[in-house]
Amino acid sequence: MSAMLDGLPRLRDMGEDDVSAVMSIEHAAYEFPWTENIMRDCFRFGYICKVYDSPDGILGYGVLSIGAGECHLLNVCIAPGHQRQGHGSRLVAHLLQTARQAGAHTALLEVRVSNDTAFRLYHRMGFNEIGTRKNYYPAAAGREDALVLMREL
């Protein structure tokens, strides 16, 4: 599917045939994963969907919406066995560059208050906390708040 002549991972557009592998990662990474229908709706709504593909299969994925000069990182995930290797940073940078090229000037995202690893990644990439969405995410003990992060592109 992807041309990896040097064997290195490549970012490419996600296709319908990638959804099964993406959902496997989603379920391995999250206690409350997106459903397959939500993932497929991303194609229907015209969101930018990318996968991080390698000779060993898909390592991660990202979903991005763009409109009115803003982009919203809706879902960014690297498979648990491939985290902390720089893939997440490269994926986010690629998504932000794609948004910039499409005319977005601002990037937004939400992150669980308990997800320190993701928060640190986004902070290193220039995102700043601008607010909180109360009870935004499902959690084992009810609901969990989300931090709203933003950066200029």
Q: For 19-52, what is each residue's pLDDT tens digit?
A: 999 999 999 999 999 999 999 999 999 999 999 9
Q: Residue 32: give the domain boundaries.
A: 10-152
- Known catalytic residues are 110, 122
Q: Is position 142 within any domain?
A: yes
Per-residue pLDDT tens for 50-72? 999 998 899 999 999 999 999 99
Q: Is position 50 within any domain?
A: yes
Q: The CATH number of the domain where 59 resides is what? A: 3.40.630.30
d(CA 73, CA 135): 19
Q: Is position 63 within any domain?
A: yes
**Total number of domains constituting the chain:** 1
pTM of the model: 0.91
Q: Is position 4 within any domain?
A: no
